[in-house]
Amino acid sequence: MKTFKIALIPGDGIGPEVVAEGVKVLRTIEQLDPSISFSFTEFPWGCEYYLKHGKMMADDGIEQLKEFDAIYLGAVGYPGVPDHISLWDLLLRIRKEFDQYVNIRPITLLNPELTPLKGKTAKEIDFLVIRENSEGEYAGAGDWLFKGKPEEVVLQTGVFSRKGTERIIRYAYEEARNSKRTLTSISKANALNYSMVFWDEVFNEVGKEYPDVKTYSYLVDAASLYFVTEPERFEVVVTSNLFGDILTDIGAAITGGMGLATGANVNPERKFPSMFEPVHGSAPDISGKGIANPIAAIWSVSQVMDFFGEEQWGEAILSTIKEILTEQPSLTSDLGGNSSTSQVGDRFVDLLSAKVSEVGVSQE
């Protein structure tokens, strides 16, 4: 019996609502697969915790999280606590402290009906964004000078280290090589005359070790256009922290919306735990109503299972997502359905259980 230790950080707004459904899926896997068990520890960290304790997580929070095999997070940030405090003290802190320098965000159209792009098929919208997740525009470096004075100046410095840039680009080349896909680097060297000139140089340098990988390089403004007009151009994409953040919301938009987008924050060396989360935030506009779409969070569970080496479960979850997406009434209102968050989760585990009892899940 394999036991995986999972830290749950449901967080704020719709975070707890969608994480509950992901946990339902994990519990179902436990029931269906006698070789797997999970031990969950839930951490009550987030904005409510901040309002009580003046901090987003326990002082030794990072230490406490170290022993887990994975962290499963809902969302962080809520009106009442400034976003730059809540995010820097929890989500961004975990990404940094655990050196989760790879953010893997699939942009995959799981049902052709769901794209707003006229005539685009699932085959044409199927790529992977590899976002640098530890530095760049998110280095947190800067200054605020002469506050409130006429000469006030604010600096926000991007930090692109050789180590940080090489490792993400190398990771992307490996991914492209191993999956025999093309690799596209997205940058902006025409305007960002230090950081992105360096990024492009590193992309070309590292590329010499991968002559078998066909590459493209686009400016981020043009790439944003192509995400919408010609997503079929992309197979594996590598880009900086901020560009990856923005581009993957466009990716969500072309594949069915924020309720369907997932991301894995990975420390490839496995020195520290990796963290899995939907791409969306706490959605204060819909939280507390029981209408948040839990499918992004369920897709994160699929990424967790792949990460644990239980790919048969990752695959079973993904194919069950494709199945539920064909049943419109079983979906939440963002996808035109009329089900609640927990009804989607219930229907999902029924479909998963039926699939597994029909075909079984291969076990080594």
* Token duo for residue 80: 């009442």
Residue 91 engages ligand NAD in binding (rule: CB under 6 A): yes
| Nearest to 242, CA basis, from 284, 295, 199 | 199
Among the listed residues 18, 65, 90, 92, the single contact to ligand IPM using CB under 6 A: 92
- Please report, in angstroms and rounded to a whole number, the separation of the first and last CA atoms in the chain: 12
Is 283 one of the binding residues for ligand NAD (CB under 6 A)? yes
* Helix H or strand E encompassing 173: helix 162-178
Quote the distance between the C-alpha of residue 124 and its chain's center: 21
Q: Which stretch binds ligand IPM (CB under 6 A): 86-94, 142-150, 166-174, 334-342?
A: 86-94
Residues 361/32, Cβ–Cβ less than 8 Å: yes
Based on the shown chain and the rule CB under 6 A, indicate whether residue 77 belongs to the binding site for ligand NAD: yes
In the block, residue with structure tokens 């989500």? 91
- Binding partner selected for residue 231 from ligand NAD, ligand IPM, Mn ion, none, CB under the kind-specific 5 to 8 Å limit: none
**Distance between CA atoms of residues 78 and 127, nearest Å:** 31
Give every CB contact of residue 195 below 8 A, 6+ residues apart in sequence: 136, 158, 160, 240
Of 76-84, 103-111, 182-190, 211-219, which segment contacts ligand NAD by CB under 6 A?
Answer: 76-84
Q: Determine if 245 is a binding residue for Mn ion (CB under 5 A).
A: yes
Nearest to 254 by CA among 363, 122, 151: 122
Q: In 3D, which of 81, 19, 70, 21 has the Cα closest to residue 46?
A: 81
Q: Which is closer to ligand NAD, CB of 187 or CB of 320?
A: 320
Write down the least CB distance from residue 144 to ligand NAD, Å: 20
Between CA 75 and CA 83 the distance in angstroms is: 12
Binding residue (CB under 6 A) for ligand NAD from 97, 200, 232, 334: 334
Instruction: State in angstroms the smallest separation of the CB of 237 from ligand NAD.
Output: 19
Which of these ranges, 138-146, 224-232, 289-297, 351-359, lies near ligand NAD under the rule CB under 6 A? 289-297
**Phi/psi of residue 24, nearest 5 degrees:** -55, -40
Amino acid at 130: I
Residue span binding ligand NAD (CB under 6 A) among the ranges 100-108, 120-128, 137-145, 278-286: 278-286
DSSP state of 150: T
Residues in 224-263 that interact with ligand IPM by CB under 6 A: 245
Report what 92 binds from ligand NAD, Mn ion, ligand IPM, none; CB cut-off 5-8 Å by kind. ligand IPM
Per CB under 5 A, contacts with Mn ion among 46-105 are: none
In the complex, the smallest distance separating the C-beta of residue 135 from ligand IPM, rounded to whole angstroms, is 12
CA distance 98 to 9: 15
Q: Which of 277, 306, 310, 323 binds ligand NAD (CB under 6 A)?
A: 277
Tokens 């022993």 correspond to what residue? 67
Which of 25, 266, 279, 301 binds ligand IPM (CB under 6 A)? It is 279
- The binding site for ligand IPM (CB under 6 A) comprises 77, 87, 91-92, 245, 279, 281
- The binding site for Mn ion (CB under 5 A) comprises 245
